[in-house]
Amino acid sequence: MAVIHYIDKLGRAFSVSPDGVEPGFVELGTYYFKVVPQRSFFVDDEPLQTIRHGAFDAWQWTPMFYAGKVSAELVDEGGVVVATYHFDVAPDQSKVGEATFAAMLDEILAFDSRLLLGDEYAQRDIGREGRVTDPHLSFARLKRYGPTLLTALTDVIRKPLTRLRRERTLRPAHQLRRIDHQTLRRALQDPAATALLYHRAQTNTGAKPLQFDVPSVFEDLDNPANQAMAVVLDETIRRCRQVITDLRTLLTRERDTDTRSALAPRLGRRIEYVEGLHSALRKIQRREPFCSLRQRRITAAGLNAISAHPAYARAYRYGWYVLRPGIDGSRNGERLWISPTWEIYERWCYLKVVATLKSLYPELSWTNHWPGTRVDVIRCTGTGNDTQVDVWLQVQCPAFDRPDNHGFTSVSGERYPDIVVTVKGPQGCKFIVMDAKYRVTRTAVLDAMESAHLYRDCLRWNGMRPDRAVLLVPRRGGAPWLEAMDYHEENQVGVAVLGDESNGLVEMLRSLGMMSGDAELSDLKDMDAEITVEATD
C-alpha cells in the first residue's frame, strides 16, 4: 500500500493511504508531503514542486480559496499512476463552519446547478440528470469512464458478434462442396460446364478457368450490434476532440488573479490524457468490426443484441456514461469541480437576499430571468399592487458614455456589483448595492470597504444614487462600528452580516423604511432563526 506521510505548518505529523477520503485539511492551510523517491505527486493534475523542509525533501501544498474533495495521484517515472488519494478540505473555520458551507452548496444546487460549476481543485458529488454540460464535466467523465470503456471495447474487437449471411459466389470445380438447383441451371447454360458434368473431353483448353455459381454462407460483421457500437465509438472520439479544443481555448483565455487557482498548470496533463485516450480509441476504430461497416446507426435490433451480450452491454453502457450530460438528481459517486469559496458565498448571499425580499413582499408574483448567456447574471423580479422589486446578480452598469442597462450606469468605468436591489412603488424608489466579501478580519474588511465607497459614488439607477452600499460578510466583529445602523444612516455605507450567525439584512431594510410593523419584523427574524438553525445542524 502506497502510504505517504505529511506534516502541517504546526509540525503535526499524519499519514495518508489510498483508501477512503482523508479529512483534516483546511482552506488556506499549508502541508508538506514527504517525497517518495523516483515518484512525482500531482494534486488535481498539478505537479507539486519539491522543497527542502527541515530534515527532509517535501512536496508543499497550500489549498487556496476552495473547499471540498480534492484528488491527488502518486506517479512513477514512466507516468503510470501508482496510487490515488482523496483529501477532504474544510472551509476556513473563521468564516463559516462545515455544516454551513454544505448547506450553502445544497441551496445553490437546488436553485441552479450551473452556479456551482467551476474550475477549482475541490470537487463535489453530482447527479446524472439534466442537460447541463461544460468542458470540465466532459473531461471528468472521460477520465472516470474512459479506461473502462477502452477495456470493454478491446473485449468487443477480440471476439465481435457476427451474423450468418448467405450469398452466391463463383467458385472453381475443385472447391465445390454443394450445389443446388440454381447451380445446375446455370451450369447447363454453359457448354464447358455441361461437358465437365457429363465427363466429356474439354475441347478448349485455353479458355478461362471454369467456375460455378454456388451458394455460400459468411460470418458477416456488418450487423446491427456492431453498427450501434460504432455510433458510440465515433461519438466518444468526437467528444475527445471537442474536449481537447475546449481545454486549449480555456488555456488561452485564462487571466492571472489572486482570488482563483491557476488552471494552466493542470490543463497540460488533462489535454495529454485526453489525447492519449483519443489515440487509443482511433486504433480501435481502425480494426474489425468497425473499419468495414457500411453504415453506423442505432436500431432496436442492435440494442437487443447488445443487451444480450455482456461485453457489448458493458461497452455500450460506459460509452453512454462518457457522453451523457447533466449534474442534477441523486448523487451517484461522480464528482465535478466547483467554484471558489468566496464565489459560492457571493451566490448564496444572492439567494438569501431574494428570500428576504420575498418574505418582505409576499403579495408579489416572483419570477427569475437570465438576461443574457451568462448563467451568473440573474434578475429576480417581483410584481403586483403597483410595486416592482428587482434583485440582480452581477448586473452590468455601463460607463456613463454608453447606453444604460435597464437604467443602470456608472459615472466612471463599467462596473459589475455583486447584488443590486431596486424597488418601485407608491412610496417611492429604493436603490441598494451589496458586495459580498468572504472576509472577516479587521484589516480585510476595511480593505474591502473600498468597493462599497466606489459603488456608492459611481453607480446610478435612472439617475438615482444608491440609498445604501454595503458589504455582506459571513461573521461579526471584523469592524463592529461599520455594522451599526447609525453609521449606515450617516454615511450610506456599512457592513451587514449574512451567515450562520444572523441575517443582517433585516435591520438594514428596516432602517431604509422598506418594512413597517412588528409583524413583518417578526417574520423576518423567524427566517433569520431558521438560517441559524440550518447552519448549526
Kindly write down the DSSP assignment for every residue of 348-365, as one continuous string: HHHHHHHHHHHHH-TTSE
| The residue count for the chain | 537
* Cα–Cα separations (whole angstroms), residue 79 to 266, 270, 447, 507: 15, 13, 45, 58
**Which pLDDT does position 519 carry in this prediction?**
37
For the domain with range 341-536, which CATH number is right: 2.60.120, 3.90.930, 3.40.91, 3.30.460?
3.40.91
**Which pLDDT does position 327 carry in this prediction?**
87
Q: Which H or E element spans position 285? A: helix 264-285
With both helix axes pointing from N to C terminus, report the angle between 98-111 and 518-536 in degrees, rounded to the nearest 10. Answer: 110
pTM of the model: 0.83
**Which pLDDT does position 423 carry in this prediction?**
94
Rounded CA separation 21/172 (Å): 70
**Which pLDDT does position 518 carry in this prediction?**
41
Domain spans in the chain, listed from the N-terminal domain onward: 4-90, 135-160+223-324, 163-220, 341-536
Q: What are phi and psi of 467, to 5 degrees?
A: -70, -25
**Cα end-to-end distance, the chain, whole Å:** 37
Q: 225, 293 in Cβ contact below 8 A? A: no
In terms of Cα–Cα distance, which of 14, 43, 24 is closest to 89?
24
Q: Do strands 334-337 and 493-497 pair parallel, antiparallel, or not at all (unpaired)?
A: unpaired
**Which pLDDT does position 229 carry in this prediction?**
96
Confirm or reject CATH 2.60.40 for domain 4-90, answering yes or no. yes
Which stretches of the chain drop beneath a pLDDT of 50?
203, 516-522, 524-525, 528-537
Rounded CA separation 122/32 (Å): 19
* Cα–Cα separations (whole angstroms), residue 455 to 326, 350, 467: 37, 17, 11
Q: Do strands 56-61 and 123-126 pair parallel, antiparallel, or not at all (unpaired)?
A: unpaired
**Tens of pLDDT, residues 357-412:** 999 899 999 999 999 888 999 999 999 989 999 999 999 999 989 999 999 999 99
Task: Indicate the DSSP class of residue 260.
Answer: S
CA 47-253-454 angle, 5° bins: 105
**Which pLDDT does position 537 carry in this prediction?**
33
The answer to whether the bond into 289 is cis (omega within 30° of 0) is: yes
Rounded CA separation 31/11 (Å): 9
Kindly write down the DSSP assignment for every residue of 202-224, as one continuous string: PS-TTSPPPEEEEEEEEEES-SH
**Which pLDDT does position 221 carry in this prediction?**
86
